[in-house]
Amino acid sequence: MKIWPFVAAAALVALLIHRRRRLEPTLLVGGALIAIVLCVYGSGAVKLPNLETLLVDIGQTLGQWTYLLVGVLAFLETGAFIGLVAPGETAMMLGGVVAGQGEINVITLIGVAWIAAVAGDCASYALGRRLGREFLVKHGSRVQIGPERLAQVETFFEKHGGKAIFIGRFVGIVRAVAPFLAGSGRMPFRRFIPYDVLGAGLWATTFIMIGYVFWQSFDRVLKIAKEGALGLGIAITVIAGIVWLVRWLQVAENRARLERDLDTALDRPGLRLLRPLVHWARGPLRFFIGRLTPGQLGLELTTLLAVAAVGSFAFLGYWILIGEGNASGLDSPANRWAVHISQPALVDLAKALTTFGAPWLMEPLCAVAVIVLLLRRRVLEAAVIGIGMGMTVALVQIAKHSTDRARPGNGLVDAAGSAYPSGHAAYAMAWIALAVVAVRVVPALRGRWWLVVAATVLAALVGLTRLYLRVHWVSDVLGGEGAAAMSFSLVAIVALVVAFMRQNAAPEPQ
């Protein structure tokens, strides 16, 4: 008989009883089951199976089916409110463990989970817009959403606004219901989707990587578990401190007091030399604190972060896969599709459209746009176009020299060099950046966002022509588009911060 399992079970039961009014039913039931298992184990009646052997067996059994399992559960997490019954984090971590064993690819798994999670949230959002809050009030009890739980989520939603979609992804009941409430509350989809893409991507990546790293460091995890919980205690302390700091900074009076105390400290003789550095850094700090902590994640910032996240994942993820000798499952089918539907008239049209992503057109066009913007004294917009295009060209060339990937062998136009990434697909993304700048800068075009939609369609068509002309694989096109999306959005984020600093520049000390 072992004493520590009984002690742990007693402590867990006491915690459940103390917090019974605040914990979700699934947590109460799960905690009770854990307490029972601890007691049975402590009595010596049952011996636990070897954890490593058990996980190996699970990984070998699931194999490639893990992609489907993780994707379906990520979709149903919010799309069918199943997250109220079975937390999706468990499936994500299990998928990460299987990837850590080498049965599947972790990059592909994250991509599948990310796309499925966003799709589930969008489905729940659409249901919310169609059915309304009354449906949830009437039928919510069937999926464990009673009046108290609904009120709890709505309070959270009202308090945090748009960022409830992002933060709520990590809060069980909020994650399952928030997209539906966003739809029923008529939250604009253009505001909903950036928060959702960021939250879903971070959620899927976090829990899949926990399982992946756990398996990769299995021996070290066991050693830490045997030696004590020092690391866990430090982690909890750091997280609790970050949470407290964020909540403290949410109060405007606290932020003002912090600035006053900082100015007082800088008046001391030994710290006066730091004044220029502190006043220079104050602008970016105000920007991020002002945008993040009070629940006002600026829509522009959030959208750019979402674009940067998706773009960097596509570009770097495919780069890693290709470097490891793997390929996208869509590459060969798409090439066969292009051969099957090939028609002379469509080939001529594709050859014409593909020039809209040619470097000899896009690089001079962006250079002219930069000159015009500088003449109009729109330095930040010029920087976004110029530096963004420069970064895109650099990333494309670096990746091409690094991967040296073979092109499809049945191309309809001449193309030299490595297939990954597609330069035409990458450079065509500049049309979107040019359209956004034009709508913001040119008075006659302000508010005409259909230009951005048209530019997006054009960029997508250029990518499709590279597939139709059989000079690139699907992964090449998506990787090129990702490189450009990452480059332009990161430069735009910096420009947004600089613009904020200019508008809220602190007065120079006397």
pLDDT by residue, tens only, the chain of 510 residues: 667 677 777 887 887 777 666 665 656 666 777 777 777 766 766 555 554 555 556 666 777 888 888 888 888 877 655 555 556 777 788 888 888 777 788 888 888 889 998 998 898 888 888 877 676 666 655 555 666 666 666 666 666 666 677 777 776 666 777 788 788 777 788 878 888 888 888 888 888 877 777 765 555 544 544 444 444 444 445 545 655 666 566 566 776 777 777 677 666 665 666 666 666 665 565 555 554 443 344 667 778 888 888 889 889 888 888 887 777 677 888 888 888 888 999 999 999 999 999 999 999 999 999 999 999 999 999 999 999 999 999 999 999 999 889 999 888 988 888 999 999 999 999 999 999 999 988 888 887 888 999 999 999 999 999 999 999 999 999 999 999 999 999 999 888 878 877 766 544 444
Q: How far apart are CA 13 and CA 16, in angstroms?
A: 5
Residue 191 lies in a domain: yes
Give the contacts of 214 (CB within 8 A, at least 6 positions apart).
93, 96, 97, 100, 221
On whether both 400 and 358 belong to a single domain, the answer is yes
On whether both 28 and 88 belong to a single domain, the answer is no
Residue 276 lies in a domain: yes
On whether both 56 and 94 belong to a single domain, the answer is yes
On whether both 248 and 391 belong to a single domain, the answer is no
Last residue of a domain, one of 255, 276, 292: 292
For residue 146, give both structure tokens: 């009673």
Residue 510 lies in a domain: no
Q: How far apart are CA 179 and CA 203, in angstroms?
A: 15
Say whether 19 sits in a helix, a strand or coil: coil
Domain that holds residue 464: 299-503
Residue 254 lies in a domain: yes
On whether both 444 and 375 belong to a single domain, the answer is yes
On whether both 342 and 489 belong to a single domain, the answer is yes
> What is residue 231's predicted lDDT score, i.e. its pLDDT?
44
Say whether 370 sits in a helix, a strand or coil: helix
On whether both 483 and 442 belong to a single domain, the answer is yes
Say whether 235 sits in a helix, a strand or coil: helix
Give the contacts of 406 (CB within 8 A, at least 6 positions apart).
419
Residue with tokens 């940067």: 308
Nearest to 420 by CA among 321, 330, 500: 321
On whether both 200 and 177 belong to a single domain, the answer is yes
Nearest to 249 by CA among 206, 292, 220: 292
> What is residue 57's predicted lDDT score, i.e. its pLDDT?
65
Q: How far apart are CA 133 and CA 180, in angstroms?
A: 8
Q: How far apart are CA 94 and CA 392, in angstroms?
A: 36
Residue 509 lies in a domain: no
Give the contacts of 495 (CB within 8 A, at least 6 positions apart).
380, 381, 383, 384
> What is residue 224's predicted lDDT score, i.e. its pLDDT?
44
> What is residue 228's predicted lDDT score, i.e. its pLDDT?
40
Give the contacts of 4 (CB within 8 A, at least 6 positions apart).
42
Q: What is the pLDDT of residues 293-314, one digit of tens each?
A: 433 446 677 788 888 888 898 8
b/e 150-165 (16+ beta carbons within 10 angstroms → b): bebbbebbeebebbbb
On whether both 362 and 485 belong to a single domain, the answer is yes
Last residue of a domain, one of 190, 210, 227: 227
Residue 22 lies in a domain: yes
Question: Rounded to the nearest 10 degrees, how much is the dihedral formed by the CA atoms of 316, 317, 319, 322?
Answer: 180
On whether both 153 and 239 belong to a single domain, the answer is no
User: pTM for the full model?
Assistant: 0.65
Q: Tell me how far CA of residue 449 lies from CA of 4, 300, 435, 446, 453, in angstroms.
A: 64, 14, 8, 8, 7
On whether both 204 and 311 belong to a single domain, the answer is no
On whether both 77 and 93 belong to a single domain, the answer is yes
Last residue of a domain, one of 227, 245, 278: 227
For residue 385, give both structure tokens: 């176009």
Q: Cβ distance 421 to 396 under 8 Å?
A: yes
Q: Helices marked H in 132-251 — which ranges?
A: 133-139, 147-160, 163-167, 172-184, 189-216, 218-227, 230-249
What total number of domains does the chain contain?
Answer: 4
Assign 3-class secondary structure to 419-457.
CCCCHHHHHHCHHHHHHHHHHHHCHHHCCCCHHHHHHHH
> What is residue 91's predicted lDDT score, i.e. its pLDDT?
79
